[in-house]
Structure 1
Amino acid sequence: MALITIKNVVIRGMAACVPSKIEENSDYPYFDDNELDRMIPTIGIERRRVLEKEKTCADLACKAAEKLLNELGWEKESIDLLVFCSPDRDYILPDTACIIQGKLGLSKSTMAFDMTLGCTGWTYSMTNVCSLLSSGCIKRALLLTGNMGTYECAYTDKTAYPLFSDSGVTTALEYKNGASPIFCQLGTDGKNYEDIIIHDGGARNGVTENSLLLKDFGPNIKRSRLHMEMKGMEVFAFALKTAPKSVEELFDYCQINKDEVDCYFFHQANYYMVKKIIKKMKIDPEKAPFSLLNFGNTGACSIPFTMITERAELLRNNHLKNVGCSFGVGLSWASLFFETDHIIIPELIEFDN
């Protein structure tokens, strides 16, 4: 497993944007009454945010970036690096980061590229962006993460669609000599890549007529090969085993005691799963907030999104020690220990569809 120490980088601010459209899981037509009473308390999701057609999570992340730059007082010409991390890119080519660079009006000297991870998107891309900043050659960076779960999942698939939301988040990072180090633990189990997969649409399996067909996988479970398929029990077992081990190895590496941590931010997969992880790790539940109830699983955005929606005041007004732990598609996982100090967090932005 990769264990990494990153020096000289600080988080200056974060901003999040969601669509204004709200879907209530109580109105979802593919649950019967018994399932509704059982499922919503288990997954912990009552409502979700949904983008209309022709808009993407890159639009949300762009709105967040504009707001954050304004509140930080950063000149656009001062941004040296822009990374967009999402499985939901605008096009196969070009990289969405290049499009965002143009929309934001950043300098032509800005380096811009995409990363395509899902659940572990923020933790993996933080590791990469901060590593580039740590030498001091790059001074300021914007990390944009996006999620369009309602695009990835079939509306007719009750096992997936009610879990996911659409969102965009921007994290502002800056070189600072002598900053408290960021510690990272990352890993991959690619042999089980099919546990969360969209089968068609890439170079391996292109789009055919068969790709578009909705197929029946059980009562109220219909999806095509262009929609996400998730093996729930396998993913649950993977997360319950991997997440605690990842955080424990991180603590061993950076010599931090779990009680020293002020906030734990876990990937918001579902309520039952994350509660089990918290209990297994013997963490104070008050230190591990959830954003699932009103926003669902926000994929690559879920860790910073939870920071923004559930702990904004604490982060704005204090110097905190934090752990972020993510796990999922790949299969991959990552845990970060990082400190924040009175960071800028604007109010949650609503994007009018």
Structure 2
Amino acid sequence: MNPNATRHAALTAVATHLPARVVTNDELEAEFAPAGVAKIAAKTGIDRRHVVGEGETTADLAVAAAEELFRRHGVDRREVDFVLLCTQSPDHAMPTTSCLVQARLGLRTDIGALDLGMGCSGYVYGLGVAKALVESGQANTVLLLTADTLSRYVNPADRQLRVIFGDGAAASLVTATADEPSLRGLSYGTDGSGAPHLIVPHGGLADGAVLSPKSTAEARGLVSNGYDMYMDGAEVFTFSLRVVPEIVEEALRRSGLDLGDIDAFVFHQANAFMLETLRKKLGIAPERFVVEMRDCGNTTSSSIPIALDAALASGQLRPGMTTMFVGFGVGLSWGAVVVDL
């Protein structure tokens, strides 16, 4: 683009990837009999989830999503100036997974690569960082990847979390444009005091530092798998009902828009019951509210772009629409952004 033109960032392409292995509710029901999972599954709105196979890693999913983006949208990988990889399940403590992905994708070496250690709000945060890189002139094209393999963290005997979480990845392209701003109203929130409510208590350098007595494997009647991901569902639900309406209002205010100006909303796909409660609380009509998790589960930072990609494919979302993305969860962390498709 003309170096003298006003620079704005635009979301120009998205693609997704789910691992081949599928775990259905029927399989979980048989595994956890006689306790079963039917009641939990009915509230989550999830029928099946994709999980990584033996030896499959977060980098594998990220690379597959990026290759799908390049293929489907005809993107020349030589145009990528920066790689942002949002994950909370990196392949290694060091180096960053984004460096591994840069090499495996055969991208230029005169580019930046950075991991964002974010979860459920990570896609919104990633769009914010990508926008800053583009509009400050540091990059013309940012490859934003979200990828997680949280099935590695979930204890095999934890039926609540086994029902909810799935693995997956998404690739998005954020590029420079001289058009009107199309990523607007970015708003963020953080409350680290709520960290104990959604946490992987083991496997890090602070292993053994118990933030919540309820999070230990022993307290939950589990044999530790070395990670033992824990979620206090009631606390996370209460937190979401409090912060989501506030962040929606803040993003609208910063954008100079009203709720009625938004054609469609894509929230983090936490679970169906939570989304329906939030939809009603905000007064959003069902046809303006995207729900796409039945076949993939809660994929944390990838849930918004996976839902976006599916809604574009089905025609629920169309180019030219004004949308709002809202992420919320682990951290505790939340964010919202208005996106013109």
Give the alignment's TM-score, normalised by structure 1.
0.87
Any residues of structure 2 matched to 1:98-117 within 5 Å, and which? 98-117=99-118
Residue 18 (structure 2) pairs with residue 15 (structure 1): no
Aligned residue identity for 1:99: L
Any residues of structure 2 matched to 1:249-328 within 5 Å, and which? 249-314=250-315, 317-328=318-329
Equivalent position SS for 1:256: coil
Q: Is 2:13–2:73's contact at 8 Å kept on the other side of the alignment? A: yes
Can you list the C-alpha shifts for 1:167-193, whole angstroms capped at 9, x where unaligned?
Answer: 010001100123324221101011111
**C-alpha distance in 1, partners of 2:36/2:317?**
40
Equivalent position SS for 1:48: strand
Any residues of structure 2 matched to 1:164-203 within 5 Å, and which? 164-182=165-183, 183-203=185-205
Any residues of structure 2 matched to 1:1-353 within 5 Å, and which? 8-28=8-28, 29=30, 31-32=32-33, 36-182=37-183, 183-205=185-207, 215=218, 217-218=220-221, 223-224=224-225, 226-314=227-315, 317-340=318-341
Q: How far does residue 76 in structure 1 lie from its aligned partner after superposition? A: 2.1
Q: How far does residue 263 in structure 1 lie from its aligned partner after superposition? A: 1.4
Q: CA RMSD in A?
A: 2.1
**C-alpha distance in 2, partners of 1:20/1:200?**
28
Of the structure 1 ranges 192-201 and 310-319, higher mean CA displacement relative to structure 2 is found in 310-319
Equivalent position SS for 2:279: helix
**C-alpha distance in 1, partners of 2:295/2:316?**
21
Q: Is 1:61–1:168's contact at 8 Å kept on the other side of the alignment? A: yes
Q: How far does residue 316 in structure 1 lie from its aligned partner after superposition? A: 7.8
Equivalent position SS for 1:194: helix
Aligned residue identity for 1:40: A
Equivalent position SS for 2:239: helix
Aligned residue identity for 1:199: P
Equivalent position SS for 2:159: coil
Aligned residue identity for 2:193: K
**C-alpha distance in 2, partners of 1:304/1:76?**
20
Equivalent position SS for 1:319: coil
Q: Is 1:215–1:224's contact at 8 Å kept on the other side of the alignment? A: no
Q: Unaligned stretches of 5+ in structure 1? A: 1-5, 208-212, 341-353
**C-alpha distance in 2, partners of 1:198/1:67?**
30
Identity %: 28
Change beyond 3 A, Cα 1:336–1:40 = same
Q: How many residues align?
A: 328
Q: Is 1:155–1:161's contact at 8 Å kept on the other side of the alignment? A: yes
Equivalent position SS for 1:295: coil
Q: How far does residue 312 in structure 1 lie from its aligned partner after superposition? A: 2.4
Of the structure 1 ranges 17-26 and 197-206, higher mean CA displacement relative to structure 2 is found in 197-206
Q: Unaligned stretches of 5+ in structure 2? A: 1-5, 210-215
Aligned residue identity for 1:260: D
Change beyond 3 A, Cα 1:315–1:84 = farther
Asked which structure has the greater RCO (Cα within 8 Å, sep 6+), the reply is 1
**C-alpha distance in 2, partners of 1:231/1:325?**
21
Aligned residue identity for 1:271: A
**C-alpha distance in 2, partners of 1:246/1:64?**
29
Aligned residue identity for 1:269: A
